[in-house]
Amino acid sequence: MAKLGLPVVWSDDVLRHVPKAEIWIGVPTPGTELPERATVLRSALVRAGARLVEARPLGDELLARVHTPELLAHLEGVYGQWVDGGYLEYQDRVVPYVFPTPAMLEGLPMRRPTATHARAGQFCYDTMTLVGPGTWPAARAAAHAAATAADLVAAGERAAYAICRPPGHHATRSGFGGSCYLNNAAVAVLALQRAGVARVAVVDVDAHHGNGTQSIFYDRADVLYTSVHVDPGEGWFPHYAGFADETGAGAGEGANRNVPLAPGTGDEGWLAGVRQLVEFIGDRADAVVLSLGVDAAKDDPESPLQVTEDGYGRTGELVRELGLPVVAVHEGGYHLPTLGSLTVATLAGITGTR
């Protein structure tokens, strides 16, 4: 393989988030979204010839356009409130236990709970996405990395990649979950548009549907959201979104394309799905934001799909066929021994260096 060459955006702060555990069906389990994910990626990309670029602190203007001020304030302050409330005696991470779902409120007004342990579930929609002392600075750094990569592409790079950790595509405008806190892909989209790119296509190749990114752009015609992922109807996260009949709303009708795949799908079916996304985008975009999860790989513990390293390289080549500049932001991928090689293969496909 030729030298990779593309810029890889990095921030040391992405290592500060240490979730320690996830609580799944009531059972604490070891966390898989570990700081080592970022260092494995960095090492593999440097070995492949990529050049590291430091993420620039870009202020929070883009975050304020992606997320509600209430969510941002919650993520910034809730761990300190947890500590001040004496909860460390019971749990050293912020964990929700009650959620103000539509079924609970049935049209009643949303209130701000007095108790911190009640507020923990106002914005977080699952029990897997814990908040610790380093969560906010890490999530913010990941978003800044995504924006920096977008600015590099807007300035003339054909492709740039951001090591975003924690990932982001499950984060909605007003909520977080699925190990995601801030939506890095959405930040990259808006950074491109701020630089003058009119139409952006999101290509989401994480094993799980990016419900957050889809919802943020669901009613917009200038942002296409496309995703290939394991079928949520077969019991996979995010369960409630990611179906083929979700095509957009209002001005965004027809700007959304989901390709759900059956568990056990390997390279052939996966690549056919990616091809559908590329054909759907066609000539309707000026740049691509690639939500690059590699957890559809056959060894990954978070997905039942069976994509190989060659399948990921060919995925990158299909994205390259669009002939558009690409901002890649990292999403999932949890098998540390293969995480780096899968990512390098995808980026090599994008840059034509396989």
CA atoms within 13 A on the CB side of 256: 27
Helices (H), the chain: 35-47, 61-66, 69-84, 102-105, 116-123, 135-154, 184-194, 211-217, 267-281, 309-320, 336-351
Radius of gyration in angstroms for the set of CA atoms belonging to the chain, rounded to a whole number? 19
Q: Which of 164, 182, 160, 162 is nearest to 172 (CA)?
A: 182
Pairing of strands 159-162, 7-10: parallel
* Contacts with 350 (C-beta within 8 Å, 6 or more apart), sequence order: 6, 159, 290, 316, 317, 319, 320, 326, 328
Contact 6, 161 (CB under 8 A): yes
Does the CA dihedral 157-215-333-78 come out positive or negative?
positive
Residue with tokens 């602190």: 57
Asked about 229 being catalytic, the answer comes back as no
Diameter of the chain measured on Cα atoms: 60
CA nearest neighbour of 258 among 298, 287, 293, 218: 218
| Locus of tokens 């709303």 | 249
Catalytic residue among 170, 208, 330, 335: 170
Active-site residues: which are they? 170
